[in-house]
Amino acid sequence: MGAPAASQAAIKRALDAAQSCGLTVTGFTVSKDGTIQVETAAAPVDSSRDNVQPLRPKQWAKR
């Protein structure tokens, strides 16, 4: 019995899954045993500082 081949549907599912997670797919590799490896672009870690709260005391609730 030969090695299982990756089908076009399996490749499409793997690529769609990566994209639905918000990853940027840059390529993919299919090995002889049918394993599909999806390559993605490296996202910069902690590059956006827009959502960081300033360091100051919290305000009391107004009554």
pLDDT digits (tens, 9 = 90+) for 23-49: 899 999 999 888 999 999 876 665 555
So what's the pLDDT on residue 1? 54
Evaluate whether residue 46 is within a structural domain.
no
| Cα dist from 36 to 5, 14, 18, 20, 49, whole Å | 10, 7, 12, 17, 35
So what's the pLDDT on residue 56? 81
Evaluate whether residue 51 is within a structural domain.
no
Instruction: Find out whether 19 and 4 touch, Cβ atoms under 8 Å.
Output: no
Helix/strand number for the chain, H first, E second: 1, 2
Evaluate whether residue 14 is within a structural domain.
yes
Domain that holds residue 17: 8-40
pLDDT digits (tens, 9 = 90+) for 2-26: 667 889 999 999 999 999 988 899 9
Evaluate whether residue 15 is within a structural domain.
yes
